[in-house]
A = this chain, B = another copy of it.
């Protein structure tokens, strides 16, 4: 799924979503962009273990799939920010469910230890 081109088909909604959001970073980036638009350097600070190259690559994919938009303010020095689109914002309930699941999972692990 990683470097293949983005396929969006109707065959199965779970696949649509894993193809859009799959990989290690996209959900983390979307989550950081939820409250406000950010420059790449700010994102890098919030997700320290992502490489600059990977960050730019993942942002590009998110823009291509319409979840994020790149804004160039045309200022000097250049100012570029990434923001969620309206459909990008709709990922938040999914992220909330991922969080809920992780909390449940970790509780269960502790019970069984």
Partner-B contacts on A (CB < 8 A): 1, 8, 10, 12-18, 20, 22-24, 27-28, 31, 66, 86-87, 90-91, 93-95, 97-106, 108-109, 112
Contacts and interface: CB of A to CB of B under 8 A. Distances in A.
B98 A14 contact: yes
Contact of A66 (B10, B18, B108): B108
Give the interface SS of chain A, mostly helix, strand, loop or mixed: helix
Contacts of A108: 66, 86-87
Closest 4 CB pairs of A and B: A13-B102, A16-B102, A17-B98, A13-B99
A94 B12 CA distance: 15
Contact of A14 (B66, B102, B104): B102
Contact of A10 (B12, B24, B87, B106): B106
